[in-house]
Every structure is written in C-alpha cells, then in structure tokens.
Amino acid sequence: MGARRIRIEQRQHDMHMSRIINGLDKRKERARRHTRLVECLKKGKLPYTPVIMSWLSAELNKPSTRITQADVDRVLAGSK
C-alpha cells in the first residue's frame, strides 16, 4: 500500500525481533538475580533489605509487611 503502512510493518517486525532478543537476556538475568538473592536469604534473617523484601514479596505474592520467617523458609526449600 503506502509508505506509512510499510513503515508500520517494519517497525512491528523490529519490535518483535527486539522482544525476542531482549527476552533471552532478561531470562538469564532473572535466573542470576534469583540465585544471588537466595544466597542473601541464607545468610541473614528478617528483616532483610528493601531489595530482598521486594523480591520476596513478588515471589510470594504477598505484601512485604506480611512476610514471616516461615514464608522465607518455604522459598529457600523450594529453590533447592
């Protein structure tokens, strides 16, 4: 059709390829972060730093104020 349609299709293709490539990198980074934060969990006890509490909150699908040591132990048992 027109030049505008061609640009849109090219842009959609570029975004699709970018998402595939970046997605692979993000998966690797998530795995590396998971390993690093589980190691931090093993070293300490509640209360953890905000970074760890935020990650735990996402892992447990629970507000960080409601996280107990039993929840942390469950995450550690599941990561083995």
Locate the domains of the chain by residue range. 3-78
Global pTM reads 0.73
| C-alpha triplet 50, 27, 9: angle, nearest 5° | 120
Neighbour count for residue 74 (Cβ, 10 Å): 13
Torsion of CA 56, 57, 61, 65, to 10 degrees: 130
pLDDT tens-digit profile of 20-44?
Answer: 999 999 999 999 999 999 999 999 8
pLDDT tens-digit profile of 59-70?
Answer: 999 999 999 999
